[in-house]
Amino acid sequence: MLTYNMTDRAGASLYEHLYRCIRRDIETGVITEDERLPSKRSLAKHLGVSLITIEGAYSQLIAEGYLRSEQRRGYFANRPVILPQLRAASRIPACNEGALEDTNNVIGQNTLPTNKVTAEATALTAAAAIALPAATAPPATTAPPIIDLRTGNTSLELFPFKLWTRTIRNVLAHESERTLLADVPQAGLLRLRSALASYLHGSRGMDVEPEQIIVGAGAQYLYGLLIQLIGRKYTYAIETPGYPRLAKIYRANDVDVAFIPLDEQGACVDALRKSSADVVHLMPSHQFPTGLVTPIGRRYELLAWASESDNRYLIEDDYDCEFRFAGMPIPALQSIDSSERVIYVNTFTKSLGATFRVGYLVLPRHLVKRFSEQLSFYSNTVSALDQLVLALFIENGDYERHVSRLRNKQRTLRDELISALKVSAIAESILIEREDAGLHFILGIESQRSDEELKEAFLREGLDIYPLSCYELPTKGYSERLSDRNHSAEGGPNEIHRFAICYGGIAKEEVKPVVCAMERAIYNI
């Protein structure tokens, strides 16, 4: 059986390394023409690597013509005809780090490129494509058709493109040169901040002065600004399970990060008290990935905790608040905060798409003052045009109408997906939870497989879906986490494995392929 040293990989990922080793052996004749290669499963076992690794390497070799797959017979080496463009393509990109890395990149404001499935996509070409970004694959190959149920980035089709470009044209036609070129105040154009204040009043019941609003180039930038405002000496807590990317942002800013576990109501106040946390980053309207909506009682407990010290703050990340499909909306934490402890953050990522790089903070009044005292030397990061366009879009009601339409579309999408799942072949093995708010719900799967095995099975079927266990954030480093994860949510007696289904980015036509792929993944692993 093929034997390679899988440890000394010179920075390459396992699959890349294996791909290179096999290719070299084919090119040099160590593996002869028409030689049958070991089955994926046996090679995985032999080398002590995952099936996915073997699959990635084999698929790449097939795509490049080094191997062929013969149905029910296995994999065979071809005569090594090395075409120049394939050679060029086979210069291995350092693309694998990316693949693992991506695990940690899941976030509401995610902008990682994801590729849509074409209906024809099969599991294997998908798996191959993951490993090989289009840039490095041979020219003829189509883009990797993976359906994204992980980031939930709003589908481009839902962006009000015509309305948007018309608004830009309107602004260019009707605003004076002076207005368009005028220096933007540090916190953003007053006109946009007024529009936002009024929108927040109407949609979130928040009583906010425009002066409390700070506009900036996306939430990530604003978190960095907040750390400069509040102070780097404090400990910033995030929820677990939660967004790994949040931990990365706080860590890149060199603050101590604590992790607060969730109970059935949201962030655990007892855990908060036991932690060293000063500032807590929460998603009370709709937690990612658990989908938890923090009830009012817990909200007051969190506010009480925060009000016990002048250095405590709750960062309310209201990332998908526009999407509540049932029940009464629960007021924003910010709107019931009487002690100036809540900093509200939102973006337009879920409503206008990830391309739209505008976010905003709502600061308590004392922080507005501190902001202008401590950070007045910073310029605003969003162009006047972008701010004017957004302001006009909100002022004339287009934004609210768009959100309302989008909410209806997403509700329909959710209903269709859930209905299809309920009549699918896997209906008896699944349960659906927390589907009433936000753009994802929880799919519980009863299975003997581990979370990781199920995730890989989904991926082989072209579905990018992550289990909640992938979002568990230990205080240890990420590499440890990745290996830890293999030991958690293990297979064994039937258990319920919970996955976050972020459907916000799929098209109506993809509902059926998604459900079929899930059926295949769950039954045919």
Query: Are the C-beta atoms of residues 214 and 188 closer than 8 Å to each other?
Result: yes
377 contributes a contact to a second copy by CB under 8 A: yes
CA 517 to chain CA centroid, nearest Å? 21
133 contributes a contact to a second copy by CB under 8 A: no
CA 149, 151, 157 angle in degrees (round to 5)?
80
96 contributes a contact to a second copy by CB under 8 A: no
Site string for a second copy, 242-281 (x = CB under 8 A): ---x--xx--xxx---------------------------
Give the number of residues in contact with a second copy, rule: CB under 8 A: 63
Identified binder of a second copy from the candidate list 260, 315, 363, 384, rule CB under 8 A: 384
Of all helices (H) and strands (E), which one includes residue 126?
helix 123-131
Q: Measure the CA–CA gap between 7 and 13, rounded to whole angstroms.
A: 10
Pairing status of strand 256-263 against strand 235-240:
parallel
- Closest contact distance (angstroms) between CB of 162 and a second copy is 9
103 contributes a contact to a second copy by CB under 8 A: no
Q: How many CA atoms lie within 13 A of 212 on its CB side?
A: 19
Q: Which of 297, 300, 349, 295 is nearest to 321 (CA)?
A: 349
Output phi, psi for 400, to 5 deg: -65, -40
For residue 69, the cross-strand partners are 75
126 contributes a contact to a second copy by CB under 8 A: no
- Closest contact distance (angstroms) between CB of 183 and a second copy is 4
Tokens representing 148?
A: 């994204």
Instruction: Using the minimum distance from each CB to a second copy, give the nearer residue, 217 or 516.
Output: 217
Output phi, psi for 36, to 5 deg: -85, 130
Pairing status of strand 279-282 against strand 266-267:
unpaired
CA 394, 400, 405 angle in degrees (round to 5)?
140
Instruction: Using the minimum distance from each CB to a second copy, give the nearer residue, 2 or 507.
Output: 507
Query: Are the C-beta atoms of residues 461 and 521 closer than 8 Å to each other?
Result: yes
Instruction: Using the minimum distance from each CB to a second copy, give the nearer residue, 219 or 442.
Output: 219
Identified binder of a second copy from the candidate list 29, 48, 113, 205, rule CB under 8 A: 113
Instruction: Using the minimum distance from each CB to a second copy, give the nearer residue, 94 or 482.
Output: 94
354 contributes a contact to a second copy by CB under 8 A: yes
145-204 residues in contact with a second copy (CB under 8 A) are 153, 156, 159, 161, 165, 168-169, 172, 177-178, 180-186
364 contributes a contact to a second copy by CB under 8 A: no
Identified binder of a second copy from the candidate list 55, 239, 386, 452, rule CB under 8 A: 386
Q: Measure the CA–CA gap between 275 and 257, rounded to whole angstroms.
A: 10
Query: Are the C-beta atoms of residues 481 and 242 closer than 8 Å to each other?
Result: no
Amino acid at the residue 192: L
Q: Measure the CA–CA gap between 172 and 174, rounded to whole angstroms.
A: 6
Identified binder of a second copy from the candidate list 366, 369, 401, 508, rule CB under 8 A: 369
Q: Enter the DSSP assignment of 121.
A: -
296 contributes a contact to a second copy by CB under 8 A: no
Instruction: Using the minimum distance from each CB to a second copy, give the nearer residue, 136 or 383.
Output: 383
311 contributes a contact to a second copy by CB under 8 A: no
If one counts every other C-beta atom within 10 angstroms of the C-beta of residue 176, the result is 8
101 contributes a contact to a second copy by CB under 8 A: yes
221 contributes a contact to a second copy by CB under 8 A: yes
Instruction: Using the minimum distance from each CB to a second copy, give the nearer residue, 165 or 404.
Output: 165
Identified binder of a second copy from the candidate list 30, 83, 88, 94, rule CB under 8 A: 94
356 contributes a contact to a second copy by CB under 8 A: yes
Contacts of 427 (CB under 8 A, 6+ apart): 421
Instruction: Using the minimum distance from each CB to a second copy, give the nearer residue, 242 or 284.
Output: 242
Q: Would you tell me which residues interact with a second copy (CB under 8 A)? A: 94, 97-98, 101, 104-105, 107, 109-113, 153, 156, 159, 161, 165, 168-169, 172, 177-178, 180-186, 217-218, 220-221, 224, 228, 232, 245, 248-249, 252-254, 353-357, 369, 372-386
